[in-house]
């Protein structure tokens, strides 16, 4: 199993001392709750109610694991693990299937790159450490960063191509769907919609689908499409659109969470 590189480790230790510990202490006095829009055909969105209660200022142990692996989903720019910790509470011992689109290319020439110091597969390794009985699948448009390791397998997928998305879910290991699907790929509204259209059907009962890094300027468009299209089309799903307060990032610290009810 691969361990974090020295540079990742130094960055993690700096983050732990200067960000994680001070925030954990300050969170006793500071509370920042997400602005959550919820919609569910069966009644009030219980998912939205649950997520409104989370203090998104208080980093969690899940945040530590993801940052140690080199993922950016819980540093100064994003604080999604506060929400993941609530959503996935009690899931640790389960034999889950987890699938994430977006490995984190380190090719600066590609769109949504993590930069040349990025560590492809960071979040996948984070999920593996957090869920010891889970099988983790990843997908990305960058064929150069695909890899296979203990309990992790990755595939090519271009989320703008419906045929490529269908081919991903037709892989034998994914043919029964997934319990947790994370979309952290291209980050445009059209790309989010294309991947969701091809992937929501692959969500298992009681499973969770997440889109990270939704642009703040597209939130009104999202609310419209959730109310007008997705909630009526998926009556057994609960939808919550979250704007996480973060003075360091007003651009895209937003996520969509979908829970399949049965
Ligand atoms: C922000 S990075 C993912 C980071 C990773 N999940 C983590 O937390 O460490 C976004 C990834 O989306 C990929 N990507 C960009 N366009 C894509 C597309 N059309 N289809 C699939 N993946 C794409 C990029 O190659 C990049 O690896």
User: Residue of the nearest CA to atom 17 in ligand 1?
Assistant: 186
171, burial (CB in 10 Å: exposed 0-12, middle 13-18, buried 19+):
middle
Gap between the Cα atoms of 179 and 78, Å rounded: 23
pLDDT given at position 114: 85
Ligand 1 binding pocket includes 141 (Cβ within 6 Å)? yes
Ligand 1 atom nearest to CA at 120: 9
Residue 157's contacts (CB-CB under 8 Å, 6 or more residues apart) are 101, 139, 140, 141, 164, 165, 167, 168
Ligand 1 binding pocket includes 50 (Cβ within 6 Å)? no
Ligand 1 binding pocket includes 168 (Cβ within 6 Å)? no
For residue 115, how far is its CA from the centre of ligand 1 (angstroms)?
Answer: 12
Over the stretch 78-93, which tens digit does the pLDDT of each residue have? 999 999 999 999 999 9
pLDDT given at position 183: 98
Ligand 1 binding pocket includes 110 (Cβ within 6 Å)? yes
Q: Which domains does the chain have, with CATH numbers?
A: 6-260 (3.40.50.150)
pLDDT given at position 2: 54
Ligand 1 binding pocket includes 59 (Cβ within 6 Å)? no
Ligand 1 atom nearest to CA at 73: 8
pTM as predicted: 0.96
User: Residue of the nearest CA to atom 16 in ligand 1?
Assistant: 186
Q: Candidates 79, 102, 104, 120: which one to mutate for ligand 1, based on the most atoms within 8 Å of Cβ?
A: 102
Q: Name beta bridge partners: 92.
A: none
Tokens coding 207: 């499973």
pLDDT given at position 1: 47
Please list the pLDDT of the chain residue by residue as tens digits (262 residues). Answer: 455 667 778 888 999 999 999 999 999 999 999 999 999 999 999 999 999 999 999 999 999 999 999 888 787 889 999 999 999 999 999 999 999 999 999 999 988 888 888 889 999 999 999 999 999 999 999 999 999 999 999 999 999 999 999 999 999 999 999 999 999 999 999 999 999 999 999 999 999 999 999 999 999 999 999 999 999 999 999 999 999 999 889 999 999 999 999 9
Q: Name beta bridge partners: 201.
A: none
Q: Which is nearest to 103 in space by CA: 164, 174, 153, 178? A: 153
């Amino acid at each position: 199993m691969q361990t974090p590189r020295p540079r990742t480790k130094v960055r993690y230790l700096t983050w732990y001392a200067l960000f994680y510990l001070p925030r954990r202490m300050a969170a006793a006095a500071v509370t920042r709750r997400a602005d959550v829009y919820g919609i569910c055909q069966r009644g009030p969105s219980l998912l939205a109610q649950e997520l409104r209660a989370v203090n998104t200022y208080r980093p969690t142990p899940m945040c530590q694991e993801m940052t140690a692996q080199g993922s950016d989903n819980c540093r100064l720019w994003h604080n999604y693990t506060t929400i993941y910790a609530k959503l996935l509470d009690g899931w640790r011992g389960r034999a889950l299937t987890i699938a994430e689109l977006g490995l984190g290319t380190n090719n600066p020439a590609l769109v949504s790159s993590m930069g040349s110091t990025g560590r492809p597969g960071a979040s996948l390794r984070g999920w593996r450490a957090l869920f010891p009985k889970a099988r983790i699948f990843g997908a990305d448009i960058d064929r150069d960063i695909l890899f296979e390791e203990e309990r992790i397998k990755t595939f090519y997928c271009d989320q703008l191509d419906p045929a490529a998305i269908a081919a991903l879910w037709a892989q034998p290991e994914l043919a029964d769907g997934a319990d947790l699907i994370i979309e952290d790929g291209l980050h445009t509204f059209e790309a989010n919609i294309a991947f969701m259209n091809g992937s929501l059907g692959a969500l298992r009962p009681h499973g969770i689908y997440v889109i990270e890094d939704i642009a703040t300027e597209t939130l009104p468009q999202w609310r419209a499409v959730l109310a007008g299209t997705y909630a009526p089309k998926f009556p057994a799903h609960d939808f919550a659109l979250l704007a996480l307060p973060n003075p360091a990032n007003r651009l895209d610290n937003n996520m969509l969470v979908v829970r399949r009810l049965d």
